[in-house]
Structure 1
């Protein structure tokens, strides 16, 4: 029992380690080694001039770079499989990040710093853009999922929507005995509630004022002038609207975080396909004119 408990504790600790720190930066060290070896081979090359893509070293670096690019594109397929150990999804993602960064060194040295308006430079430029967008993705996936977890407080998206709907039913019931000037405000809040709108509104850090905000603001202004039993009901209405406002804020933040991750994929994935197309054209042209 003690042995099982210790193993479970180690697994839990490993699960909380960032993919960037996986296996004590194993893939970062590996990527650094191959980058240093590539740089050493290039700058220690003798005789001068330095090699370019058409030399033996250039072809070697180009082959390594092309194989790395093809392997890096397999992450999407890998996400659909479950495997433990060094080739767990976390380990694979860590390798994806650091080996991807090593391509900056390998790819640049492969070009021999010779650029022009041709398919070869297009392939190199697409590779750099993919890597830069990948750096943005590193930040997104290192920060946003944690924010999403804290924000949703163990609630699923469906539960968030159900919570808002429950508040709407409660508001409708509470507002029934009140005069139209008040019940109409509540009705607007119920009927015009929007968790998400267009892309820009989803990404906005501060959600635009909606019917719930307006109803709450007006009820607070009206509150001092309400007497009798209606005042107690309005107190309940304000409290319910405040809870609904909090639930709406949580749901909208969840949508914003999710939209940020989706938009990143809409940029990163198409550029990756452009890179594969340009890389194919680059390889075909090299062997065609060889």
Structure 2
């Protein structure tokens, strides 16, 4: 997959920032004891603090359609590379000293947010390609309507039939029912791709009277069509669930991170831990 021009630009910016910050940190540890309250520790911490809030603005920018301050693609690329840089710069800020519980919690939150962001970036590259393999020209609502219509057709075919016929119909309907907590099971389950396996029609046909066997064949054909549509719809929903699931980690932990960052800075000034 070709890398967007903004991606190449921000990759270069990232490596320049990484080289510059690493060089400054090496010089810093050679001349003084590294810790968060030193001059360089405060500089690293201030840069990380500002970047955390700047990166959080991406969630606002991508919904701010009238803004001309950079494209969404540019903001996304900066979000990824600067997010990784924040984790590095805050490690430099700590200087390998992890005595403060709030500071440690803040650093852990940064790691969670950055790693979940990287996961989200990977998903946004891979999942849309998988989604195109199962999507059709029909919308989700149109596919759902077709599934409902086929279900009604199955009900009409089985209406007024014998008890064995009705039992087969009910069994087919149960097999196609989503069930309890279907969304979560769909997200974490492993699904086999391809057409639905054909049932053993011979055994099923032998369960009903001869004058109902033709109608049962029709029922089984409609059931198979409905199942294939349902599997396609489930794949679409599965991929969309995966695209959204990581946000349930990324967004709440980002909010927690900002709160802990403010708390950490407030504690530093309150207890006077800055030593120049």
Q: TM-score, normalised by structure 2?
A: 0.83
**Counterpart in 2 of 1:201?**
185
Q: 2 CA distance for matches of 1:34 and 1:147? A: 35
Aligned CA-pair RMSD:
3.0
Q: 2 CA distance for matches of 1:66 and 1:222? A: 67
Q: 1 CA distance for matches of 2:105 and 2:150? A: 55
Q: How many residues align?
A: 267
If asked which structure has higher relative contact order (CA below 8 Å, sep 6+), I would say 2
Residue 276 of structure 1: CA displacement? 0.7
Question: 2:35·2:94 contact (CA, 8 Å) conserved in 1?
Answer: yes
Q: TM-score, normalised by structure 1?
A: 0.79
Give the one of 245, 269, 288 matched to 2:227. 245
1:224-283 deviation line (CA, Å, top 9, x unaligned): 677856443333222211111111112222232233333322211111111111100111
Is 2:247 aligned against 1:265? yes
Long gaps (5+) in structure 2: none
**Counterpart in 1 of 2:10?**
27
Give the one of 222, 226, 231 matched to 2:204. 222
Q: 1 CA distance for matches of 2:97 and 2:140? A: 51
Mean Cα deviation higher: 34-43 or 164-173: 164-173
Question: 1:104·1:128 contact (CA, 8 Å) conserved in 2?
Answer: yes
Residue 37 of structure 1: CA displacement? 0.7
User: Structure 2 matches for 1:78-227, cutoff 5 A?
Assistant: 78-82=61-65, 87-176=70-159, 178-190=161-173, 193-195=176-178, 197-198=180-181, 199-203=183-187, 204-206=189-191, 217=199, 219-223=201-205
Mean Cα deviation higher: 53-62 or 29-38: 53-62
| SS of match in other structure, 1:52 | coil
Residue 54 of structure 1: CA displacement? 2.0
Long gaps (5+) in structure 1: 1-16, 208-212
Question: 1:75·1:93 contact (CA, 8 Å) conserved in 2?
Answer: yes
Q: 1 CA distance for matches of 2:68 and 2:214? A: 60
Q: 2 CA distance for matches of 1:46 and 1:272? A: 30
1:145-175 deviation line (CA, Å, top 9, x unaligned): 3323332223322122112101112222333
Q: 1:180 to 1:71 in 2, by over 3 A?
A: same
Residue 220 of structure 1: CA displacement? 4.8
